[in-house]
A and B are shown apart, each in its own frame.
Chain A
Amino acid sequence: QVTLRESGPALVKPTETLTLTCTFSGFSLTTRGVCVAWIRQAPGKAPEWLALIDWDDGKYYNTSLKTRLTISQAPSENQVVLTMTNMDPEDTATYYCARQPRFMEWSFDFWGQGIPVTVSS
């Protein structure tokens, strides 16, 4: 059974760095053709892809946010960490992690429940 769960702070201040952790089970990120992605969704808006990490530790970022994002696999092999620097109120959103397998043509087949993050002083 594939599950993903996001964890991290619910509130950050402007200019601070956000660190989110995705803890997953039911699959391995060392399996060829499997990726884990981060996606966010501002209130009332469409989802926005942020970053992904693949089975070979390849890392890819949304070009418009690339300078602020870092994705990595935590020492515990079933965790992926996303950091976003210089947070702004416009970054207020629900942040999701999702699995992205090649056998599903890289669509997002399983999602976490999401973690709402508010940026405010």
Chain B
Amino acid sequence: EIVLTQSPATLSLSPGERATLSCRASQSVITYLAWYQQKPGQAPRLLIYDASKRATGTPARFSGSGSGTDFTLTISSLEPEDFAVYYCQQRTNWPSITFGQGTRLEIK
């Protein structure tokens, strides 16, 4: 099973700042990596798929990068609605699917 490790566990920033979230895979997932945003009481929402492609409705301030084992989700300038928990997810070795443990983005 491919393990995804996200860092940091918690990130404290202020609105307007840049956020950089990391996801590292225990083996290569090529670019089969997605990012989700989850707010309390809601289902996860797809932001990025195939490592760098924005899903429909994802604001341009969100960008994804990386390949192989190291991936990054960047939020260029934080808006108040961006404070949430973020998960990465891989689907290599179909259909084995795993999620990272999450990064909580909180207001400083």
A35-78 near B? 1/0 per residue, CB < 8 Å: 00100000000111100100000001011000000000000000
Q: Contact partner of A111 among B43, B49, B97, CB < 8 A? A: B43
B70-90 near A? 1/0 per residue, CB < 8 Å: 000000000000000001010
Interface size on B, residues (CB 8 A): 26
* Chain A interface residue bracket vs B: 20 to 34
Q: Which residues of chain B from 41 to 55 have any CB-CB distance to chain A below 8 Å in the complex?
A: 42-46, 49-50, 53, 55
Q: Contact partner of A107 among B42, B49, B95, B102, CB < 8 A? A: B49
A6-38 near B? 1/0 per residue, CB < 8 Å: 000000000000000000000000000000010
Q: Which residues of chain B from 32 to 47 have any CB-CB distance to chain A below 8 Å in the complex?
A: 32, 34, 36, 42-46
Chain A facing B: main interface SS: loop
Residues of A within 8 A of B31 (CB): 105
Residues of B within 8 A of A52 (CB): 95, 97
- The answer to whether A46 touches B55, judged by C-beta atoms less than 8 angstroms apart, is no
How far apart sit A62 and B96, CA to CA, in the bound complex (Å)? 7
- Which are the 10 A-B pairs with shortest beta-carbon distances? A107-B34, A111-B43, A107-B49, A60-B95, A49-B97, A105-B50, A106-B91, A46-B99, A47-B99, A46-B101
Q: List 16 A-B pairs, Cβ < 8 Å.
A: A47-B89, A49-B97, A52-B97, A62-B97, A63-B96, A98-B43, A104-B46, A104-B49, A104-B55, A105-B34, A105-B50, A105-B53, A107-B55, A107-B89, A109-B55, A111-B45
